[in-house]
Amino acid sequence: MNPEKNPLKSFSVEQIKSLLGVKLPKDYDPTQQTQLDTQPSKSPFQLQAAGAIKGRNSGSNSIMNRLPYDLDNRKRYPDCVNPIRDQMKCGSCWAFSSTNMLAERICVATKGAKKPILSPQNLVSCYNPTDWGCDGGYVDETFKHLEDAGVNTDDCMPYQSGNGTNVQCPAQCANSDLITNTFKCKSGSTQNVSLRCHSNNSLQQLRSEEQLKNYLYYKGSLVAQFDVYSDFLNYGSGVYYHLTGDFVGRHAVKMIGYGVEAGIKYYLCANQWGTEWGDKGYFKIRVGDVKIDQDAYGCDPVV
């Protein structure tokens, strides 16, 4: 990307870090590739193995042989493409990615009959705003909230925290004529388990290339988290993989597909840094790089 066209060019290092709103343990070490696999999960859910979707064999060969070579949910569900949004100077990636994912899944599940634009501000302002908000959040706990309380629409609660300020949770919609409709993930069990445990549940925590691709094809888009290094910030096209630069934080985005380019396997993702960043707001990231396939979530919507 031309540095002059990068919408992040005026951001300080601290402002860049503030964009990356996935909270980290104090002892988090990005060089430890298996750290997320060995730590207990904060999630109160037991999780279904993605390979078990539709009763399919979870073996890698069986899964991969049944899947298309590439996948782009923008082409598969053109009526359900979310607009690229901009979290601006707020660490609200956890809120944007999860609401964008849920909105798309609702549209797909209803065959386009419902096309809600869901409110990240609702999560920023009304779900644990003292400790989270623009200071970041946990994706797994966000999904718990989406099951329990749900989220309302952007018309009801438009985004106001772009300057990095937490806005108080309102008592009613911005437009008093609107009804506070909430959209949810289907309810599941609420048990604390390790990341390796699985049981039948609407919430999915996905672990490998095969599981991610299986979920993307048979279920739909999901929320992925990954480590961000400074060389990612200037992405413009092609397949990103980390080469140089310092670790600056951890980020959450909506993953919408996968493919191969110039012999490199990648995942296709929608960021929320505006359409001037990356490839009109989207990016491709190499499979297995920067922990992109170690900590991903999806849910089945209530429709």
- Catalytic residue ranges: 93, 251, 271
Rounded to whole angstroms, what are the CA distances from 56 to 51, 64, 220, 255? Answer: 6, 11, 16, 22
Give, for 256, the enclosing helix (H) or strand (E).
Answer: strand 247-261
Other C-beta atoms lying within 10 Å of the C-beta of residue 28: 15
Quote the CA–CA distance of 298 and 102 in Å, as a whole number.
8
Phi, psi (rounded to 5 degrees) for 23: -65, 145
Radius of gyration of the chain (CA): 18
| 243 to 232, 265, 290: CA distances (angstroms) | 9, 16, 10
